[in-house]
Amino acid sequence: QVRLVESGGGLVQAGGSLRLSCAASGSIRSIRAMRWYRQAPGKQRELVAAISSGGSADYADSVTGRFTISRDNAKNTVYLQMGSLKPDDTAVYYCNAAIYALRDSGAYEYWGQGTQVTVSA
């Protein structure tokens, strides 16, 4: 029943900015950590940024200073503001969250379907 849906991906020129959104829906009791991953063809999926329920954020070295993760708990939504984009940022970006469903006693990991981000030179 719980779903994560990403939006905001697209084509952008190097040096530009893009904002990704991920909204959780369904019978949700609470959401713990929320994260953004990305995966380029032929490469491993990597953690880009993570944010705790209290707002503490961590970033991959490759995006530190350029990306900002944030969340709106009232909307069950996490955002990734991406600036100074580079061609190496091109990938499918996935939202991930640890979520307590209403009928569950523990938290489970959920994944969105991914959104494509393409950065041209």
The C-alpha atoms of residue 17 and residue 68 are separated, in whole angstroms, by 11
- The whole-chain average pLDDT of the chain stands at 96
- Lowest average pLDDT, out of 29-33, 64-68, 99-103, goes to 99-103
- Rounding to the nearest 10 degrees, give the CA dihedral for residues 68, 99, 53, 105: -170
pLDDT over 90 at 13, yes or no: yes
The C-alpha atoms of residue 105 and residue 119 are separated, in whole angstroms, by 42
Q: What percent of the chain has pLDDT over 70?
A: 100
The C-alpha atoms of residue 82 and residue 93 are separated, in whole angstroms, by 12
Model confidence band, residue 1 (pLDDT cutoffs 50, 70, 90): confident
pLDDT, tens digit, 9 for 90 and up, residues 77-104: 999 999 999 999 999 999 999 999 988 8
What's the pLDDT score for residue 104? 83
Element containing residue 72 per DSSP (H, E): strand 67-72
22-48 burial code (b ≥16 CB/10 A, e <16): bbbeeebeebebbbbbbeeeeeeeeeb
pLDDT over 90 at 111, yes or no: yes
Query: For residue 75, how far is the Cα from the chain centroid?
Result: 15
